[in-house]
Amino acid sequence: MKKIEKIAVLTSGGDSPGMNGAIRAVVRTGLNYNLEVFGIKRGYQGMIEGDFFPLKSESVRDIIQRGGTILRTARSEEFKTPEGRKKAYENLKKFKIDAVIIIGGDGSFKGAGIFSQEFDIPFVGVPGTIDNDMFGTDYTIGFDTALNTVTEAIDRIKDTAHSHDRTFFIEVMGRDAGFIALKAGIATGAEMVLIPEIPGQEEKLEAFLSHTKKTSNIIIVAEGNNLGGAAELAKNFGKKYKEHGVRVNVLGHIQRGGSPTAFDRYLASRMGVEAVDALMDNQRSIMIGYTNHEVVHIPFNKTIKGKRDIGKELLRVNEILSK
């Protein structure tokens, strides 16, 4: 493999709290190896458009506590085409970039895996997504912050639910994965959790609403569950069970923003350092994971093809405690 002298870092897909911490770690670790480090704005689209700029140690000062990403992020349909990837490659060569570190989710890593097969530039991925659904890692950057944001919001909603004897359907993010919903349900003592991993929950929800003696209830709805969103569920069940005084809360993008927790800052820092270390150790087409409190390397093809299990034990804990 060609000696690495210049690397680039970018963020792709949905933003997540802690991405800035990962950028900071990549930059300062790269400089520690006497590498030149460039940032690419707006993900793959910025790579295609040549939106590159140098990063120094002072460039990443005082960003570890900030949510979002200083590099911005975007989704790029053009990068999905051979022509788009060729443009991106030409820009990487123009700036003499030897390797790329990408901070994002499975879609971003899929693009990186394809690109690495087509061209001679190694990629290493750092998992940044609030969904925590990446195969090969116990935690992704941003999940802990999002979970804490959701927990705090639900605690507040519970106060008014109890005061007015109402049932709230609270929708959280989780298009294909219910990790936020399930862990938030356990953390807040929710009466019920609806997640994509468990089909056919309509009868269980019907039975709960018709038999519960509680006057206030919290039902957490992952946006990708098979019964529909919180608004749809409230409409369908609210008319039938008027005594519950059904209300809806969609937490939305507040889950993505805000200052990252200490754990997300720590995780981002560990993963960012390891990503550069891996490149210097001639690794390529891998994701940096965090399993059993240790950093690990997972091949892109495994993390892309693999599906992370929600965990039977978590489901059991929630089932026992929500009764």
Q: For the chain, which residues score pLDDT lower than 70?
A: 1
- The reported pLDDT for the residue numbered 261 is 98
Do 162 and 220 sit in the same domain of this protein?
Answer: yes
Instruction: List the CATH number of the domain containing 56.
Output: 3.40.50.450
Tally the domains of the chain. Answer: 2
Asked if 264 is an active-site residue, the reply is no
Burial track 147-183 (b if 16+ CB lie within 10 A, e otherwise):
bbbbbebbeebbeebeeeebbbbbbbbbeebbbbbbb
- The reported pLDDT for the residue numbered 239 is 77
In a domain, 227, yes or no: yes
Instruction: List the CATH number of the domain containing 159.
Output: 3.40.50.460
Do 138 and 148 sit in the same domain of this protein?
Answer: no
Taking only the tens place, the pLDDT of each residue in 195-243 is 988 877 888 888 888 887 777 899 999 998 888 889 998 888 877 778 8
Do 103 and 12 sit in the same domain of this protein?
Answer: yes
**How far is 12 from 14, CA to CA, in rounded Å?**
7
- The reported pLDDT for the residue numbered 246 is 85
- The reported pLDDT for the residue numbered 254 is 95
In a domain, 250, yes or no: yes
Enclosing domain of residue 223: 144-256
Do 209 and 87 sit in the same domain of this protein?
Answer: no
Q: Pinpoint the alpha helices (H) of 252-311.
A: 262-280, 300-305
In a domain, 321, yes or no: no
DSSP sequence for 134-180: -TT-S--BTHHHHHHHHHHHHHHHHHHHHHHT-EEEEEE--SS--HH
In a domain, 316, yes or no: no
SS3 37: strand
Look at residues 223, 256, 289 and tell me which one is the last residue of a structural domain. 256
In a domain, 31, yes or no: yes
List residues bridging with 99 in a β-sheet. Answer: 7
Burial track 274-287 (b if 16+ CB lie within 10 A, e otherwise):
bbbbbbbeebbbbb
Do 178 and 130 sit in the same domain of this protein?
Answer: no
Read off the tokens for 23.
Answer: 């950028």
- The reported pLDDT for the residue numbered 129 is 95
- The reported pLDDT for the residue numbered 11 is 97
Do 116 and 238 sit in the same domain of this protein?
Answer: no
Choose, from 15, 131, 133, 144, the residue flagged as catalytic.
Answer: 131
- The reported pLDDT for the residue numbered 12 is 95
Handedness of CA 8, 11, 16, 20 (dihedral sign): positive
Do 136 and 151 sit in the same domain of this protein?
Answer: no
In a domain, 314, yes or no: no
SS3 103: strand
- The reported pLDDT for the residue numbered 151 is 98
Do 178 and 301 sit in the same domain of this protein?
Answer: no
In a domain, 26, yes or no: yes
Do 64 and 197 sit in the same domain of this protein?
Answer: no
- The reported pLDDT for the residue numbered 205 is 87
Q: What is the mean pLDDT of the chain?
A: 93
In a domain, 312, yes or no: no
Do 34 and 170 sit in the same domain of this protein?
Answer: no
Do 252 and 269 sit in the same domain of this protein?
Answer: no
Do 241 and 294 sit in the same domain of this protein?
Answer: no
